[in-house]
A = this chain, B = another copy of it.
Amino acid sequence: DEPCGSRRCCEVVIGDGGFVFALEKRGYVQAGPWTPEAAAEHPEAVRQLHREFLRAGANVMQTFTFYASDDKLENRGNKQRFTGQQINEAACDLAREVANEGDALVAGGVSQTPSYLSCKSEDEVKAIFMKQIEVFVKKNVDFLIAEYFEHVEEAEWAVQVLKTTGKPVAASLCIGPDGDLNRVSPGDCAVRLVNAGAHIVGINCHFDPETCLKTVKLMMEGVKKAGLKAHFMIQPLAYHTPDCGCQGFIDLPEFPFSLEPRILTRWDMQKYAREAYNAGIRYIGGCCGFEPYHTRALAEELAPERGFLPAGSEKHGNWGSSLALHTKPWVRARARRDYWETLKPASGRPMCPSMSTPDSWGVTKGHADLMQQKEATSQEQLKALRSKC
């Protein structure tokens, strides 16, 4: 009953945060392709981010191998100095190095592929996963995560490949309460993933904590109704997205370069951690938008359950108590929980709305616009796209 290879999994596991957004802000990842070549190109930056999440209380160091399949690394003119294998190996080494600095597990991660979107066969797609898995086995990661899948079918294929390693497997979809992009319901998705062999199922990315929580609850109901058992995980965005449609924050007009006003505060995070815990979810982490202080907030909220504070709390008092050291008296007066818990933070942007209308092209796998290519997107292709907006 210890699916991810550790006594901790039966208690609360704090996941780390998403690397591609955090490293994009630090200058090491390119928005658009979102590929993880920094693991090989700029290892000091990746190592430092791992350390910060570890210090923030994360129990899992996930290898920075998001979108590290060869078909993605070469998609649309995304030229790399490193092979997929080199990147995957470097990422495993970094994760293990930092995990050993604390008491964390290393999770090898795979994610959805352009090949699936371009209607490649099950065999072709599985071969891509297998190539990554070989590195994970060689580097002996502790468990495996198939995450960020929009189509449950592709996630099932991934789980089936991951299962061949004998290691514990988690599977996480980036879908909302309306289901996957083919409208398979969250409950049905969860059942299919458990049946495919996943020990942990859940949701990551694409939606805010509130929405992800709703979706995981639907998964829990589905699994229970089917008479199955599983652990559940949740790794939402650190962005408020009440206005999202079924495809998540990618459809928001602000994606990816103007999401700032939506960033969650540490207090929003504590609320989320509590609600996720109360819902029975025991793998609670984050995805795009998470900075180390967001993860620390999860660990601080759940410190009573876990029995300890994370290392990073040496620089953070509970509920703003460190403000008692501020030089200004009115700021010292804010050193209390009820102040921060009830504050409705202003945007400072009176010319801006509070919600947007998402793009909603309503197309997915199989549609011509979603066929990927090795060549860079041409000016003609861009022009044609703009005319559709």
- What is A's interface to B at a CB cutoff of 8 Å? 24-33, 44-45, 48, 51-52, 55-56, 75-78, 114, 117, 208, 239-243, 250-267, 291-293, 296, 311-312, 315-317, 320, 322-336, 340, 343-357, 359, 361, 363, 369-370, 372, 376-377, 381-382, 385-386, 388-389
With contacts A239-B348, A333-B388, A377-B332 known, is A33 near B325, CB below 8 A? yes
**Are A25 and B292 neighbours in the complex by a CB distance under 8 Å?**
yes
- Measured between alpha carbons, how far is A336 from B36 in the docked complex, in Å? 24
Would you give the shortest CB distance from A59 to chain B, in whole angstroms? 16
Which residues on B sit within 8 Å (CB–CB) of A291? Answer: 25-26
Q: Is the interface of A mostly helix, strand, loop or mixed?
A: loop
Q: Can you list 30 residue pairs at the A/B interface with Cβ under 8 Å?
A: A25-B293, A27-B293, A27-B296, A30-B317, A30-B325, A32-B335, A33-B326, A44-B51, A45-B48, A76-B327, A240-B349, A241-B348, A242-B348, A253-B343, A255-B331, A260-B260, A260-B345, A261-B261, A262-B345, A324-B377, A325-B376, A330-B359, A330-B388, A332-B377, A333-B385, A344-B352, A345-B352, A346-B355, A347-B349, A347-B353
A221 CB to nearest B CB, Å: 20
Q: Which residues of B contact A239 (CB under 8 A)?
A: 348
Contact of A352 with B353 at beta-carbon distance under 8 Å, contacts A255-B331, A265-B257, A328-B370 already known: yes
Partner of A24, one of B257, B315, B343: B315
Taking CB atoms, residues of chain B closer than 8 Å to A52 are 26-27, 45
List the B side residues contacting A340 at CB < 8 Å. 257-258
Give which listed residue, B117, B325, B332, B347, contacts A347 with CB less than 8 A. B347
Q: Do A327 and B30 touch across chains, with their CB atoms under 8 A apart? A: no
The 8 closest A-B pairs by CB, nearest first: A240-B348, A27-B312, A350-B355, A32-B322, A262-B348, A258-B345, A32-B325, A333-B385
Tally of this chain's copies: 4
Tell which of B51, B255, B322, B351 touches A353, judged by Cβ atoms closer than 8 Å: B351
Question: What residues of chain B lie closer than 8 Å to A257, measured between beta carbons?
Answer: 265-267, 320, 340
B361 touches A355 (CB 8 A): no
Q: How far is the CB of A42 from chain B (nearest CB, A)?
A: 9
Contact, CB under 8 Å: A329 / B369: yes
CA distance A352 to B263 in the complex (A): 13
Of B345, B351, B386, which contacts A349 at CB under 8 A?
B345
Contacts of A336 in B (CB 8 A): 382, 386
Shortest distance in angstroms between A261's beta carbon and chain B's nearest beta carbon? 4
Q: Determine how close the nearest CB of chain B comes to the CB of A290; give it in whole angstroms.
A: 11
Q: Are B345 and A354 in contact (CB under 8 A)?
A: no
- Cα distance A48–B250 in the bound complex, in angstroms: 30
Q: Which residue of B lies closest to A387 (CB)?
A: B333
* Contact in complex: B354, A24 (CB < 8 Å): no
Complex CA–CA separation, A327 to B254 (angstroms): 17
Question: Would A24 and B386 count as touching, CB distance under 8 A?
Answer: no
Q: Is the CB of B30 within 8 A of A333?
A: no
Contacts A75-B327, A253-B334, A329-B370 aside, 5 further interface pairs with beta carbons under 8 A come to: A27-B312, A28-B315, A257-B340, A258-B267, A261-B348
Kindly provide the distance from the CB of A251 to the nearest chain B CB, expressed in whole angstroms: 7
Name the B residues within 8 Å of A330 (CB-CB).
Answer: 251, 359, 361, 385, 388-389
Q: Please, how many angstroms separate the alpha-carbon atoms of A381 and B333 in the complex? A: 9
Provide the bound-state CA to CA distance between A320 and B331, in Å.
Answer: 36
